[in-house]
Structure formats: C-alpha cells, structure tokens
Amino acid sequence: MSDSAPQPRARYSRGQRGLHWAIFACVLLAYVFINLKGWLPRGDAARASMLEAHFAAGLAVLLLIGPRLLLRLRRGAPPVTPPPPPLLHRAGQLTHTLLYVFLIVQPLLGILAVELSGRAIPLPFGLSIPAFLGAGDPALGRSIRGLHEDLGDIFYWVIGVHIAAALWHHSFRRDDTLRRMV
C-alpha cells in the first residue's frame, strides 16, 4: 500500500457525463425544432410537428436536470488541472449557475405559457399534457411566451460562452477542463 493520499478523480462520473451530453442533445434539438418551425407556413402539419418536438425536447431537459443536479451535489466536480486563477474559476461558476438556472426556468416558462393559454401541451405521437389551469389567462400566457423566447435568445450567448470557454481552456490554457466531460 502507498502512503500517498488518494488522487482526485480526473473526470466527471459516467452518469454526470451521460446526463451532460443528453441534456446538450435535448437543448440542441429544442433549438433546431423551434427554428425549423419558423421556416414552415402556419397551418402546415410539419410546423405543428416541429412545435410538438420542441415541447418534447424541453420536457426531456426538465426531466433530466433533476438527476443531473443531484449527481452534481453528490459527486461534485473534479478539480481542473492546472487550477485556474480565482477570477477565472469564479467566472466558470457564474456561467454554470446561469446554465443550470436556464435549464430549469426555460422549460417551466414554456409549460406555463402554454398552460395559461388554456391549451394542452401537444407532444409527438398524438400525446399531450392536459391544461391543468383550465381557461388560464391568455394575455399572461403571451407575456410569459415572450419572456421564454427572449430568454431563449439570451441563452444562445450563454451556451456560446460555455462552449468557447471549454475550447479556450483546451486549446490555449491547455488544462483538463474539457477532458473532464468527455
């Protein structure tokens, strides 16, 4: 046996990595579907299908973020090697906090916007989530949909910063930030 202290793990756990990439795929699909919807004419069945797929991808994000947060709280994050300066570390923490807030709030806003319109949330394959709020408040629903859309636009930037930072860490700082998640 060795007298040395155990080495910190170099990567996130398999579950953390799997959930990270599954959520990434769902967010990507949500954006792809909602943008494809915008290219299709109103009343087109394919447009409705894109909206249904967008809802399904958003709901998948919401279902996956809980286990991901629980694993993060339980397992933590492996240290970056070599450690970043404190300011860079804090910037990373802020970006990750914004990512987690978005991954929770954005799907909830989407659900609330549809619920307040008094409609069921349509899903692929003829499935739907009933409108639990009944008639709701369509004007408030439109306002929340606008907020959902605006936050979606802002989130493009947060995602871009996250990706750019991972690539910068890998290519220029040459630390193991990116390798911890692959």
pTM to 2 decimals? 0.88
pLDDT at residue 92 tops 60:
yes
Closest CA to 91 of 15, 13, 181, 177: 177
Buried b (16+ CB within 10 A) or exposed e, 64-96: bbeebeebbeeeeebebeeebeeebeeebeeee
The pLDDT, as a whole number, for residue 4 is 59
Average pLDDT, the chain: 91
Q: What is the pLDDT of residues 133-166, one digit of tens each?
A: 767 788 999 999 999 999 999 999 999 999 999 9
Q: What is the pLDDT of residues 1-10, one digit of tens each?
A: 455 555 566 8
Share above pLDDT 70 across residues of the chain, in percent, rounded to a whole number: 94
The pLDDT, as a whole number, for residue 113 is 93
Q: What is the pLDDT of residues 16-50, one digit of tens each?
A: 999 999 999 999 999 999 999 999 999 999 999 99
